Amino acid sequence: MVYFIGAGPGAVDLITVRGKNILEKADIVIYAGSLVNPMLLEYTKKDCEIHNSASMTLEQVIDVMEKGEAENKLIVRLHTGDPSIYGAIREQMDILVEKGIEFTVVPGVSSFSGAAAALKAEYTLPNVSQTVILTRMEGRTPVPEKEEISKLASHQASMALFLSSGMLEELSRRLVKGGYSEDTPAAIVYKATWPDEKVIRTTIKNLSEDAKKNDISKTALILVGGFLGNNYERSKLYDPSFTHEFREAEK
């Protein structure tokens, strides 16, 4: 049996209880060494076999799973954050289906949630934005033309940009081209929830300069939008004059 488990954004205690329980029983762990906190491996049994997928191909990962499965081992594939976001799990799952190997997915806390916590921010503020766009600049993985940053920016929704902190000048250019003003609030959150986390509040215009000043070019999320500013309306849900299913309005 293979378990794809979200390791969370970094802090060892941000894996889910379910994820930790399974990790403690694992016979084999394949973890994404570039971003998963190695301290999580301390939850494993003494004789657990550990593989770092950073230096492995998809075929090698599957090979470890297949051999483990043949010996009835409990196999954990530990992915950073939540595995459904840039986790490359679909290709693994499809091969496991083909091979008739059973698997389960355990979700994790994504870094975009970790980053919001670090900023003490809420992405969905009334009268600011009710939408969060999770996206990236293209790298070796292309981004479909219709999802080009300036097109998404035209919505002025709250945006969280993964895998893009090495391309900030171009990112700012596209955000502005799409309609955000240069002084729109933005933030760089480096290694959210890790002990060496850095939180930098800035503007779209100064993203690149502030990243350089702080020596950040990877393992960071870029957040953009009015949700990082100070203007918003109170929620209706907790408004005393508003009645809903569980509460009568105050007279």
With CB under 6 A as the contact rule, the residue among 221, 223, 224, 228 that binds ligand SAH is 221
CA of residue 192 relative to chain centroid, distance: 10
Q: In the complex, what is the shortest distance from the CB of residue 161 to ligand SAH, in angstroms, rounded to a whole number?
A: 7
Q: Do 232 and 129 meet the contact criterion of CB atoms below 8 Å apart?
A: no
With CB under 6 A as the contact rule, the residue among 48, 191, 203, 206 that binds ligand SAH is 191
Other CB atoms within 10 A of residue 19 CB: 24
Which tokens go with 183? 């002084």
Identify the CA nearest to 76 among candidates 154, 165, 176, 1.
1
Binding of ligand SAH by 81 (CB under 6 A): yes
With CB under 6 A as the contact rule, the residue among 189, 200, 204, 207 that binds ligand SAH is 189
Which tokens go with 244? 């809903």
Binding of ligand SAH by 115 (CB under 6 A): yes
Binding of ligand SAH by 35 (CB under 6 A): yes
DSSP 3-state of 135: strand
Residue 150 phi, psi (nearest 5): -65, -30
With CB under 6 A as the contact rule, the residue among 62, 82, 158, 167 that binds ligand SAH is 82
Which tokens go with 123? 């992405």
With CB under 6 A as the contact rule, the residue among 5, 61, 77, 80 that binds ligand SAH is 80
Of 86 and 242, CB closest to ligand SAH: 86
DSSP 3-state of 122: coil
Instruction: Please work out the total of residues on this chain that contact ligand SAH, with binding judged by CB under 6 A.
Output: 23
Residues that bind ligand SAH (CB under 6 A): 9-10, 35, 80-82, 85-87, 110-111, 114-115, 162-163, 189, 191-194, 219-221
